[in-house]
Structure 1
Amino acid sequence: MPNQRKWFPYVYLAPALIMLLLFVYYPIICNLYYSLFDWSSFTPTMQFKGLGNFIDLFHDPIFYTALKNNIWYAVISLIFQVGGGLILAAILEDKLVRRFSPFFRTVFFIPVIISITVIALLFDFFYNPEIGLLNKLLDLIGLHGWTTGWLGNGHTAIFAVIAVSQWQSIGYIAMLFIIAIQKIPNEIYEAAEIDGASKIKQFFHVTVPGVKEMAFVTTIVTLTQAFTVFNEPNILTDGGPGYSSQVLATYLYHSAFENDSMGYASAIATVILAITLIISVIQLRLFRSGKEV
């Protein structure tokens, strides 16, 4: 009987482990295998290419454009989603604003639950060079020289797409930080206030250290989304004009389903996997999550 009980935990874990193996690790291994071949969906044979797809990829200027855009995505998202979300959460949890906090939480969270298709249509109108609200606003405040076709301009397209993601996601990150702030004992804030600490000092010396674990989570989520983003650039610009707003995920899609270069697309997917794994390891080392600092 004791020997049987020893196996009980593994019996309960087995379904989850099987699902994990079938739908996570097996596809990863298959993708790594396919990235070593030159093949398409319309040919029955696969020609072994070794690291050829990766060599071609690292000599591809479009790949570096897509990677640069993903890096812009990551940097801007860290500033506005993680940094801005933390500031927004701290404001909403301030005792002067707390009575109105449920209303503002709802307002900021609504974009998270709106369909990306609806959001794309909304911002397509917002960025319209002729009747768009953004250009109208710039005209109104005397900045006519700044007006442009935001999604049709190669210099502004990727930043216009990135702005959509910030608007949609900041409410979600703020909600996570609100949960973390609510777990900080009020006595710490009261003691800091008695010691004469201003709101800004309380934010940096009480709130920020108190949400360290949540900052780790939100940073991982934000960076992972930044390097796997697909919907916004695909719907708003389809990677254009030219390749100026291409990101790794859209380039993968175009390589696989428009150019029918499945092995090349598998190589891009492998690079995305490697980048996200490296980011996760770095974050674990920097934040030392779950350990005393």
Structure 2
Amino acid sequence: MTATDISPPRRRAPARRVRARRGDLFWIYLFIVPGMVLTAMFVFYPMGASWYFSLTQWNGFSDAKSFVGLANYRELLGDGMFWGSFGRSMVFVLIGVPLRVALALVLAIVLNNIIRGRLSTFFRTVFFLPVMAAASVIGVVLTFVLSPSNGPIAVFLESTGLTDAPVEFLSDPQLALWSALLLHTWKNFGMTLIYWLAALQTVPSEYYEAAEVDGAGAVQQLIKITLPILIPFAVIIVILTANENLHAFALIQALTGGGPYYSSEVVEVYIFRTAFAPDAAGGVPRLGYASAAGCFFGLATLLIALLQAWALKLVADQRARLDR
């Protein structure tokens, strides 16, 4: 048998593999296309449209649009109402995130190392249940629970003598924002708890066993073993929690609608009020101006995410140097 007699089979085998690979890629792309189409329709197109609308003066209901360039952004920079709502959103990040992350870490350590078995499962379920409920539904229910007239909290406080008068948690300008922040923390606390519990599972048990042999106590094991290993996870959890705290629209809109006197109005509620509420701009909705506020807020949150990613890289580099 000559070389020419055996050459064709050798050439057909790679061709069959190429055709099979193309067939696999065809089915892969076929299943990806619907997701990409939906993403383009409901994510990319609205993003692009928002940037376009932010350069126009438009009420959102008529076909008449006038291009105003960066006028909306210039007006936004001098809008005290916007900056007030922006500051309240930062309160949710600068105070709400450390509070939630720290409390969830403490509880996760307790449930992972101290309380075990069915009791631990029970507490994990109890804290995670509010996460599964819709924020708008929880907000409506809590308005009745915290009602100063006949809500169970008000009745309990007065019956026990803790207060002389009903506490207006949601209608007092001094309390509304902090009440919303605490309720938002409670509602999403279980998610941060699950993050920490998952991170604690990555700590090798051999480290604890070796530490016990060396005579290290529980506190020393926590400081020397657990916390250093959790630092990279902490940065990721902080990023996720901060992103979640910046999107508290549903709960606040159901609880207070941004009131009283805009005292609990965060940026998302401000955008909604400006775009759709009848009292915006003397009764005329301003969807173009609201789009500019949304785009500006999106850039600000992107900057926060980039800073947190930079912090994560610094932590990773520091840990790599320590491992050497």
State the 1:42 CA deviation: 2.7
Aligned match of 2:115 = 97
- Structure 2 counterpart of 1:223, one-letter code: A
Structure 2 residue identity aligned to 1:12: I
Match of 2:193, SS state, is: helix
Q: Please tell me whether residue 62 in structure 1 is matched to residue 81 in structure 2.
A: yes
User: What does 1:18-57 align with in structure 2 at a 5 Å threshold?
Assistant: 18-57=37-76
Distance 2:141 2:61 in 1: 38
CA distance in 2, matches of 1:171, 1:146: 33
Contact 1:90–1:203 (CA<8 Å) still a contact in 2?
no
2:310 to 281, 285, 288: 285
Equivalent AA in structure 2 for residue 86 of structure 1: L
Distance (whole Å) between structure 2 residues aligned to residue 229 and residue 118 of structure 1: 13
CA contact (8 A) 1:213 1:289 kept: no
Aligned to 2:8: none
Please give the secondary structure, in 1, of the residue aligned with 2:87. helix
Aligned to 1:81: 100
The answer to whether the aligner puts 1:203 opposite 2:222 as a matched pair is yes
CA deviations over 1:173-195 (Å, ceiling 9, x no partner): 11121112112111112223333
Letter of the 2:71 partner, please give it.
Answer: G
Question: Are residue 274 (structure 1) and residue 299 (structure 2) matched?
Answer: yes
1:231 Cα shift?
0.8
SS in 2 for 1:93: helix
Tell me which residue corresponds to 1:131: 150
How far does the alpha carbon of each residue in 1:56-90 deviate from its partner, in whole angstroms, 9 at most, with x for none? 11211111121111111112321232111111111
Q: Partner residue of 1:111?
A: 130
Gaps of 5+ in 1: none
Quote the residue 2:251 is aligned against: 232
Paired with 1:7 and 1:289, the residues of 2 have a C-alpha distance of 43
Is 165-174 or 123-132 further displaced after alignment? 123-132
Q: 1:194 to 1:123 in 2, by over 3 A?
A: farther
User: So what's the TM-score if we normalise by structure 2?
Assistant: 0.80
Deviates more, 1:189-198 or 1:159-168: 189-198
Answer with 1 or 2: which has the greater Rg: 2
User: Contact 1:73/1:162 (CA < 8 Å) preserved in 2?
Assistant: yes
- Distance 1:30-1:98 versus aligned 2 partners, 3 A rule: same
Distance 1:121 1:157 in 2: 15
1:246 maps to 265
Any conservation in 1 of the 2:176–2:256 contact (CA below 8 Å)?
A: yes
Aligned-partner Cα distance in 2 for 1:153–1:146: 13
Amino acid at match of 2:199: A
Could you tell me the TM-score, scaled by structure 1's length? 0.88
- Give the total of aligned pairs: 292
SS of the aligned residue for 2:246 comes to helix
Q: Kindly provide the CA deviation profile for residues 171-220 of structure 1, in whole angstroms up to 9, marking residues without a partner as x.
A: 11111211121121111122233334333333333223323343233222
Instruction: Give the CA deviation at 1:285.
Output: 0.6
RMSD, matched Cα: 2.7
Deviation readout 1:199-251 (Å, 9 max, x if unpaired): 33333332233233432332222111222220111001011111111111111
Asked if the contact 1:31/1:266 (under 8 Å) is kept, the reply is: yes
Match of 1:257? 276
Residues 203, 10 of structure 1: alpha-carbon distance in 2 compared, 3 angstrom cutoff: farther
1:127, 1:151 within 8 Å by CA — same for their partners in 2?
A: yes
Residues 55 and 111 of structure 1, relative CA distance in 2, 3 Å threshold: same
Change in 2 beyond 3 A, CA 1:147/1:203: farther
For the 8 Å contact 1:53–1:267, the answer to whether it is kept is yes
Q: Which amino acid aligns with 2:28?
A: Y
Q: 2: CA distance between counterparts of 1:270 and 1:7?
A: 42
For residues 296 and 26 of structure 2, what CA distance do their matches in structure 1 show?
34
Contact kept? 1:80, 1:170, Cα under 8 Å:
no
Q: Does 1:154 align with 2:179?
A: no
Deviation at 1:126, TM superposition (A): 3.1
Give the Cα separation in 1 of the matches to 2:214 and 2:84.
51
Any stretches of 5+ residues in structure 2 without a counterpart?
Answer: 1-14, 320-324
**Contact between 1:239 and 1:247, CA under 8 Å: does it hold in 2?**
yes
1:72 aligns with 2:97: no
